[in-house]
Amino acid sequence: MTGEPKGRAPAAFNLDDPRLSADLPLKDEAPAQKPEGPKGPPAASREPAPDKPGAAASSGPQPNAKPRAAAPQPKAATPPPSDQPAGTMAAPPQKAISRTRKWGGIFLSAVGGLVVLAMLIWVQDTFLTLLGRHDWIGWAATILLAVAVFSFAMILAREIAGLARLSAMTTVRKRADSALMVEDTKQARVAAGEIRAIFAERRELADGLARLRKHERDIMDAKQVLSLTERELLVPLDKLARVTIGSSGRRVLVVTTLSPAAIISVGFVAYENFRMLRNLASIYGGRPGFFAILKLMRLIAGHLALTGGIAFTDDILSQVLGQGVTARVSKRLGEGLINGGFTMRIGLAAVEVLRPLPYVEARQPRFREFVSEFLKVGHRFAGEIAPEGKERGKG
Amino acid sequence: MALLERWSSSALETWARAQDTAAQMFAPSVRLGVTGLSRSGKTVFITSLVHNLMAGNALPFFEPLAQKRILRTYLEPQPDDAVPRFDYEGNLAKLTAAEPEWPEGTRQISELRLTFEYAPGAMMRRALGATRLMHLDIVDYPGEWLLDLPLLDLTFEEWSRQSIAMAREPSREPAAKEWLAFLGETNPLQKKNEQIAKHGAEIFTQYLRKCRDDALSFSSLTPGRFLMPGDLAGSPAFTFFPLEAAEGAAPPDNSLWGMMARRFNSYKRHVIQPFYRDHFARLDRQIVLADVLTVVNAGAAAVADLERAMSDILGCFRHGQNPWHAMFSGRRIDRIVFAATKADHLHHTNHDRLEAILGLIAKKSIARANFSGAEVKAFALASVRATGEAEARQGNDRLPCIVGVPLKGERLGARVFDGKEQLAIFPGDLPEDPALALSPEWLSMGHSATHFVRFRPQKQRPLGFGESAVLSHIRLDRALNFLIGDKLS
């Protein structure tokens, strides 16, 4: 499609011409995606792909977290120290840390390896002796072993699938970003198709999916393709996410304020955050496993490290004010507000990481808007989106 | 002289305006002018626009609809009783028939009123409750009529000089040969003679017609009404032609020159001025359609001519933002869309190039409109989409094709289409640089580089229960949103 009119004279083809590949209405993505497979996206998708197994299997002490964090998230592309959430932003300190850590890491790995070996020998011995017995204990042990192996495989598969979905979402996001940047309709359509595939089984989006399918063929501009996808599929999900984040924040606020012991509130905050992340990931189609959530947390930490500073100044005033006044009323309530607020900020960052599209047409939610959500005591059902419906006209 | 005539009609204008203002208080109306030179797709545009607005099922980027704020859209009797109604139903029937055809083109001015019942978008207004009404008066008129407006400022002698100079341009000369020969034999000072006037007007009209044909596709042709006379055909106001007359001198009585000059003036008074006063001066928004592809097909001279016609047309608009005293001083057009129609005859990868070419053609006009405060945008759109898209492999290359049924008699290379077979056509690539597209070298390559074939409208899918026909389009909703979206907020 570059401007070389010389070799490309106008021509007519019969419809049964084998050289012709029609992208008629709905089959649009299927053929478009295939040829793309080896060329375009892999450049983007390969990078996160090989680290999937790595992340699933190890996620342990190795310091090779840097390339992994860099690959999937365009915005978090530079923050290597993603396992140090808030502080350490620049590159140099990370270097120093990795050097001092190296020996410790090697030591730990070696010791870990020894322990694993010892365990393996013990397990092997036990099993061999168990299996060697030809009585009912031996049979029971065999069956239990089979069940254990099978279920472990299933868990592993689920975790890997969860991670794959997560990185698929970040790939889609990348593709959508680049399609918007260079206004490439084809890429945008591929991205839109992938997003539709992610949400294909969601019943609550069936309506929007049907509408998308109807318009899809007639929309010719990358931005419009994506903004329509966003409007039909993501805006309802954004509302859902908003309610989820709000209710988590509220819960943290209440528990922190009322809990009799600090340890309880700490535990609850951790639990609630975990739960919120899982819910958010499910809302945006991630269906994550445990490791996927860990990875998500790391991405979020990276994101917060990058953007936190800015967002913090944006909202610091209200927080200081809030704390100043409320702390005078009750120290606990002040703590609750801080904890709840932070939970919500994590939620917002999670949305930013999870959302398969950038904000094309919809407005990016700001922390301040959540304060109203926060204080809305009453509706705690995540599914309840009716009240938000009215606010749409504003945006 | 011209100035005087304008002033004399301004009293009538003011009265019309006062009536408008009174009506505006109750239910505001927006007058949308739809124009474009002949065969640019005005009729199809309006039909598709009205149908899509009423069906409301295929305009995802028309914001009021996307925000679900439009409750009802319906046709109402139009306010101007003296203007023919736009034959929406007939045109729609043609487009959605079992064997769909393109409707016939605009021959005269026509109007249609569409009424929206909507909920205001702003919080404040919504708090006031109640739905609101807005009338959209769509005024369809031939772009050729606009070409006449500059004549208001010309005397017969000035106009004659321009027309004759234009006819002598090499690109037009073949078509003008007969008329120029006639002109050579005619002495402007001879005694007036109705037969000569009639004969001269006839061959002059023939020359204009030839210029407009597909092969030449010229656009800048005055007087525009000669090509579409309507009910005044044959009257003296339509029976004149330019003469080689000396500027500044007064024509002697009883001469042919005097007769022509008088008729030219009555053409201005009885044809151009009423149109200006009753229709043109009352528009709020304007869309100018242009069939850029056919013009590119026809070559460099046609493109240059379109450029000239466009800047003439746009010179007539009094655009700019409505000041508070607009109700006394006349409305102004504050938003204009230039649309390159029939974008579906081109693969979407080429649409932005088409837009760029249109932007370049209308560059001067856009700059002027921007300067006077009107917002202007250019779109490549298709009012009714007649094609799908496909890709064809050719060696290592992939040719972006469009799939549709070419109109009967259209040709590509040696192949003549029968109007029945569905084919995938690769029309060639528009160059990336719009300036190149308008350069004579590229255009002179003719059909070896690009050739745009015209297509028949697509057949409608069988409709489900309660479904209304879908006229699919390209970017109609975005153009519409720019044109009237803000009036419904």
Q: Which pLDDT tens digit goes with each residue over B56-68? A: 878 888 988 888 8
- Tens of pLDDT, residue by residue over B323-369, are 444 444 556 788 889 899 999 998 888 888 888 888 888 887 788 77
Mutation to test the B interface, candidates A2, A14, A19, A189, most B Cβ within 10 Å: A19
- Name every chain B residue with its beta carbon within 8 A of the beta carbon of A219: 60
- Name every chain B residue with its beta carbon within 8 A of the beta carbon of A207: none
CB B31 within 8 Å of CB B282: yes
Nearest Cα neighbor of A302 from A124, A94, A27 is A94
pLDDT top residue among B255 and A364: B255
Phi, psi of B286 (to 5 degrees): -140, 135
pLDDT of A85 > 70? The answer is no
User: Which percentage of chain B shows pLDDT scores above 90?
Assistant: 17
CB B220 within 8 Å of CB B312: yes
Single-letter code of the amino acid located at B309: A
Measure CB to CB from residue B422 to each of A8, A11, A15 and give the nearest one. A15
CB contact under 8 A, B388 and A217: yes
How near does any CA of chain A get to the CA of B104, in Å?
25
Domains of chain B, by residue range, sit at 2-141+279-385+473-488, 147-275
Nearest Cα neighbor of B336 from B20, B17, B30, B33 is B33
Residue B463 — very low, low, confident or very high, per pLDDT cuts 50/70/90? confident
- Tens of pLDDT, residue by residue over B240-253, are 899 887 777 788 88
d(CA B147, CA B128): 46
pLDDT of A251 > 50? The answer is yes
Determine the average pLDDT of the residues in A106-112.
92
Beta strands in B291-413 (DSSP E): 335-340, 375-380, 388-394, 397-404, 411-412
d(CA B246, CA B120): 60
Q: Which residues of A touch B (CB under 8 A)?
A: 1-5, 7-15, 17, 19-25, 183, 185, 211, 214-215, 217-221, 224, 227-228, 231, 392-394
Determine the average pLDDT of the residues in B38-67.
88
DSSP state of B328: H
pLDDT of A133 > 50? The answer is yes
DSSP 3-state of B171: coil
CB B286 within 8 Å of CB B337: yes
Helix-helix angle A185-198:A29-45, to 10 degrees = 90
CB contact under 8 A, B449 and A9: yes
Which pLDDT does position A34 carry in this prediction? 35
Taking CA–CA distances from A228, the nearest residue in chain B reads B60
Determine the average pLDDT of the residues in A146-164.
91
Which pLDDT does position A318 carry in this prediction? 56
Min mean pLDDT across A83-87, A173-177, B246-250, B361-365 is at A83-87
CB contact under 8 A, B392 and A21: yes
Interface of B with A in 34-73 (CB under 8 A): 57-58, 60-61, 66-67, 69
Residue A22 — very low, low, confident or very high, per pLDDT cuts 50/70/90? low
Which pLDDT does position A37 carry in this prediction? 35
Which pLDDT does position B149 carry in this prediction? 82
SS3 letters for A119-158? Answer: HHHHHHHHHHHHHHCCCHHHHHHHHHHHHHHHHHHHHHHH
Nearest Cα neighbor of B226 from B240, B247, B243 is B240
Which pLDDT does position A40 carry in this prediction? 36
DSSP state of B485: G
What's the angle, vertex CA A289, arms to CA A285 and CA A293, rounded to 5? 85
DSSP per-residue string spanning B309-325: HHHHHHHH--BS---TT
Residue A48 — very low, low, confident or very high, per pLDDT cuts 50/70/90? very low
- Tens of pLDDT, residue by residue over A344-384, are 888 888 888 888 888 888 888 777 676 666 655 444 433 34
Structure tokens at A202: 């969601």
pLDDT of B212 > 90? The answer is no
pLDDT of A387 > 50? The answer is no
ipTM over 0.90: no
Max avg pLDDT among A310-319, A350-359, B21-30, B245-254: A350-359
pLDDT top residue among B98 and A63: B98
How near does any CA of chain A get to the CA of B332, in Å?
30
SS3 letters for chain A? Answer: CCCCCCCCCCEEEECCCCCEEECCCHHHHHHHHHHHHHHHHHHHHCCHHHHHHHHHHCCCCCCCHHHHHHCCCCHHHCCCCCCCCCCCCCHHHHHHHHHHHHHHHHHHHHHHHHHHHHHHHHHHHHHHHHHHCCCHHHHHHHHHHHHHHHHHHHHHHHHHHHHHHHHHHHHHHHHHHHHHHHCCHHHHHHHHHHHHHHCCCCHHHHHHHHHHHHHHHHCCCHHHHHHHHHHHHHHHHHHHHHHHHHHHHHHHHHHHHHCCCHHHHHHHHHHHHHHHHHHHHHHCCCCCCHHHHHHHHHHHHHHHHHHHHHHHHHHHHHHHHHHHHHHHHCHHHHHHHHHHHHHHHHHHHHHHHHCCCCCCCCCCCCHHHHHHHHHCCCCCCCCCCHHHHHHHHHC
Structure tokens at A209: 């999916």
Which pLDDT does position A49 carry in this prediction? 38
- Name every chain B residue with its beta carbon within 8 A of the beta carbon of A1: 349-350, 400, 429
Interface of B with A in 249-278 (CB under 8 A): none
- Tens of pLDDT, residue by residue over B156-202, are 999 999 899 988 888 888 888 888 999 888 888 888 888 988 999 99
Residue A319 — very low, low, confident or very high, per pLDDT cuts 50/70/90? low
Min mean pLDDT across B45-54, B150-159, B257-266 is at B150-159
Which pLDDT does position B175 carry in this prediction? 87
**B485 in contact with chain A, both atoms CB, cutoff 8 A:** no
pLDDT top residue among B479 and A44: B479
Q: What is the mean pLDDT of chain B?
A: 83
- Name every chain A residue with its beta carbon within 8 A of the beta carbon of B346: none
**Burial degree of A49 (CB within 10 A; 0-12, 13-18, 19+):** middle
pLDDT of A1 > 50? The answer is no
Enumerate helices (H) and strands (E) in chain B, giving the number of each.
19, 12
Phi, psi of A365 (to 5 degrees): -70, 145
Name residue, tokens 């591929």. Answer: A190
Give residue A13's region: left, alpha or beta (phi > 0; psi -120 to 50).
Answer: beta
Structure tokens at B469: 């026909």
Peptide bond into B223 cis (omega under 30): yes
d(CA A300, CA A344): 12
Residue A393 — very low, low, confident or very high, per pLDDT cuts 50/70/90? very low
Which pLDDT does position A150 carry in this prediction? 95
Q: Which fold has domain B2-141+279-385+473-488?
A: Rossmann fold (3.40.50)
CB B145 within 8 Å of CB B283: no
pLDDT top residue among A68 and B82: B82
Measure CB to CB from residue A22 to each of B121, B403, B413 and give the nearest one. B403
Single-letter code of the amino acid located at A174: K
How crowded is the C-beta side of B172, counted as CA atoms within 13 Å? 26
Measure CB to CB from residue A3 to each of B58, B60, B429 and give the nearest one. B429
pLDDT top residue among A251 and A43: A251
Name residue, tokens 């012991």. Answer: A261
Which pLDDT does position B476 carry in this prediction? 92
pLDDT of B268 > 80? The answer is yes
pLDDT of A126 > 60? The answer is yes
Min mean pLDDT across A15-29, A374-388, B350-364, B453-467 is at A374-388
Cα of B83 vs its chain's centroid, Å = 18
**B411 in contact with chain A, both atoms CB, cutoff 8 A:** no
d(CA B484, CA B486): 5
How crowded is the C-beta side of A307, counted as CA atoms within 13 Å? 21
Nearest Cα neighbor of B40 from B343, B440, B352 is B343
Which pLDDT does position B89 carry in this prediction? 92
Which pLDDT does position A46 carry in this prediction? 37
Interface of B with A in 293-352 (CB under 8 A): 343, 348-352
Which pLDDT does position A6 carry in this prediction? 47
Structure tokens at A49: 């792909």
pLDDT top residue among A275 and B280: A275
Residue B120 — very low, low, confident or very high, per pLDDT cuts 50/70/90? confident
Min mean pLDDT across A297-301, A309-313, B382-386 is at A309-313
Which pLDDT does position A96 carry in this prediction? 45
CB contact under 8 A, A21 and B390: yes
pLDDT of B236 > 80? The answer is yes
d(CA A80, CA A102): 16
Phi, psi of B16 (to 5 degrees): -60, -40
Single-letter code of the amino acid located at B361: I
Determine the average pLDDT of the residues in A331-338.
77
According to DSSP, the residues that pair with B423 across neighbouring strands are: A14, B404
Which pLDDT does position A100 carry in this prediction? 58
How near does any CA of chain B get to the CA of A193, in Å?
17
CA-CA distances (angstroms) from residue B308 to B209, B303, B312, B314? Answer: 18, 9, 6, 10
Which pLDDT does position A19 carry in this prediction? 80
User: Which percentage of chain B shows pLDDT scores above 70?
Assistant: 89
Mutation to test the A interface, candidates B65, B423, B447, B476, most A Cβ within 10 Å: B423
How near does any CA of chain A get to the CA of B449, in Å?
6
CB contact under 8 A, B423 and A10: no
CB B159 within 8 Å of CB B151: yes
Min mean pLDDT across B165-174, B286-295, B457-466 is at B457-466
| Strand B411-412, strand B110-118: pairing | unpaired
